[in-house]
Amino acid sequence: MKRSVLGLDRVVLVLLGLLVLAVGLVVAAWGAGLLPRVWDRSPDEVTLATATDAFAASWWPGASLAAGVVLGLLALWWLVAHRTHRSVGDLRLQGSTPADPRRVDGSAAAATAADVIAETHGVRSAGGKVVADRGHLVAELKVTVEPDADLTTVAAAADRTMGELATVLGRDDVTARVHLDVARTSRGSRRQLA
């Protein structure tokens, strides 16, 4: 997700929060009888006559259709902008030139790194890929370990393997992320049914 989208999210959230706060304060002041002191034309009661007049107007169907289309397009844009992980293609290697493009499949290299970690004692399974996350390249490894695994050993293997992956990729702009999941049960144990 881009920083501009995150910034827009924060601005919209603050504006919506202020709007809800203002409406809440107005309703509370109206319920307590304090609203006429601030706004002398405040209504004594709320009716739906104005809303039903708008629904009967000739412009209402077109306006509601246009508003629905605009809101639908904004919702689609918002969903697309909030995809957190985007796969990346081949990565350009250091020393590559337009005349001599040297590239490597980053996800294949990350998958190989996951295979190396999977050989560590206590690791049940591992997978890896390279993604674009918030404008940065991230080599992600997802490792599932046994409940009795030595996490210090697994962490050391992950550090060593990610260092080797950085050497293979030859890029300084790739960040490493290792996600450790602990399995609920040991591979050899079975659940007892009561």
Q: What is the pLDDT of residue 188?
A: 59
- Per-residue pLDDT, averaged over 37-60, amounts to 78
160-179 per-position pLDDT tens digit: 999 998 888 888 888 889 99
Whole-number Å distance between alpha carbons of 5 and 78 = 9
10 Å CB burial of residue 75 (0-12, 13-18, 19+) is exposed
- Per-residue pLDDT, averaged over 58-82, amounts to 88
Q: Who's near 125: CB < 8 A, 6+ residues apart?
A: 118, 143, 144
Average confidence score pLDDT of the chain: 83
Q: Which of 75, 106, 50 is nearest to 114 (CA)?
A: 106
Q: What is the pLDDT of residue 85?
A: 55
Q: What is the pLDDT of residue 114?
A: 93
Report percent pLDDT > 70 for the chain: 92
152-162 per-position pLDDT tens digit: 999 999 999 99
DSSP string, 2-60: -HHHHHHHHHHHHHHHHHHHHHHHHHHHHHTT-HHHH-TT--SS--SHHHHHHHHSTTH
Write down the pTM of the prediction.
0.54
Q: What is the pLDDT of residue 84?
A: 61
Evaluate if residue 86 carries a pLDDT over 70. no
Q: Which of 73, 110, 83 is nearest to 2 (CA)?
A: 83
27-46 per-position pLDDT tens digit: 888 778 888 888 887 777 77
95 phi/psi in degrees, rounded to 5: 90, 0
Evaluate if residue 144 carries a pLDDT over 90. yes
Q: What is the pLDDT of residue 91?
A: 81
Cβ atoms within 10 A of the Cβ of 101, count?
A: 10
Whole-number Å distance between alpha carbons of 110 and 129 = 5
Whole-number Å distance between alpha carbons of 184 and 21 = 44
Element (H, E) at 98: none
How is the chain split into domains, by residue range?
A: 3-81, 87-182
Which CATH number applies to 87-182? 3.30.300.30
Report percent pLDDT > 90 for the chain: 31
